[in-house]
Amino acid sequence: MNTSKVVIISTGGTIAMRYDPVQKGVFPAVTGQELVEAIPPLVEVYPIEVYEFSNIPSPHMTPQLMLKLAQKVEQILATENVRGIVITHGTDTLEETAYFLSLILQSNKPVCLTAAMRSSAEISPDGPKNVLDAVRTAAASEASGKGVMVVMNQEIHSARDVTKTHTASIDTFKSPFWGPIGYVDEDRILFQREVKNLDKIITNRIIEDVYLVKLAAGSDDFLIQALVDKEVKGIVVEGLGRGNIPPAVIPGIKRAIHKKIPVVLATRVPMGRVLDIYGYEGGAKPLKEMGVIFAGELSGQKARIKLMLALSKTNCSEELVKYF
């Protein structure tokens, strides 16, 4: 007899919302248990237990809540008869929560995040199918050791690579350049590639005072100077191309580094790495020589999550480079 189970942790999001005719909008209203009960095939897939962590729209998710969620996930995964975990979440910040969990969780058991782009008030809501697919993935033996995954629209993505690419399409979650690591078919879970170099930052705290600044043509250093004046703990700059910036931004970055505020450089381009190829003023090469830390392939929002966790270990730039 199979005594193991998959635990579904509900956090809220569109998947747990209903239309309110009085306020004329969609609001959080469905409990985790109600969500599961609305998907009858779940009981045929694997034994299920439900834990309601929160019921919030995902723009209300914070890094501090992510930390509490991670601690609860680790606690549940330590239970011997838990096969894996599915977390239902809003789509807007799902990739950040998924990446946070992928960095901090120590268990090799499967953790799958899923969501919905259409609420139960709309025609053909996608939530029930996504939850069903996520449970099937979390229960699959092949899912062990794959890190935290996002299961949406029958695709399985690595938390490190995935991002939301469309505001409304159900096919919104993509892993630019790399693609999904697998997919959910009618009769089985199929993994097509391995996820290598899964970074870990094991900590029980975070440094939240980290900001993300996105650059564009003609940007200056006003926002960065304001952050230096605020004495923030870290700054992530989302630059252009290979990690280049307008020259007017340089004084702010220099001042931040002089004040011992770590500056991490990501790119606003959805695919490719930050690299020190260009040596002109504002190019990535002189920025690296100045002490700026490169985020590699990480998006600005994920680099911010990583810096928050890394700063709980050290605020030394030479040590922080090792985490990136």
Q: Identify whether the C-beta of residue 183 lies closer than 8 Å to the C-beta of residue 162.
A: no
Quote the tokens at residue 107.
């268990």
In the annotation, is 14 catalytic? yes
Residue with tokens 């998006």: 299
Helix (H) or strand (E) holding 111: strand 111-114
Can you name the residues that pair with 266 across neighbouring β-strands? 238
Integer Cα distance of 94 and 227 in angstroms: 26
Residue with tokens 């097509």: 192
Integer Cα distance of 76 and 193 in angstroms: 28
- Helix 222-230 and helix 250-258, axial crossing angle in degrees, nearest 10: 20
Can you name the residues that pair with 291 across neighbouring β-strands? none
Integer Cα distance of 126 and 123 in angstroms: 9
User: Of 92, 133, 89, 83, nearest to 110 (Cα)?
Assistant: 83
Quote the tokens at residue 110.
């499967």
Tell me which of 14, 91, 97, 137 is the catalytic residue: 14
Chain-centre distance for alpha carbon 91: 10
Buried/exposed 139-167: b ≥16 CB within 10 Å, e otherwise? bbeebeebbbbbbbbebbbbbbbbbbeee
Q: Identify whether the C-beta of residue 91 lies closer than 8 Å to the C-beta of residue 172.
A: yes
3-class secondary-structure state, position 67: helix
Query: Mind telling me the catalytic residues?
Result: 14
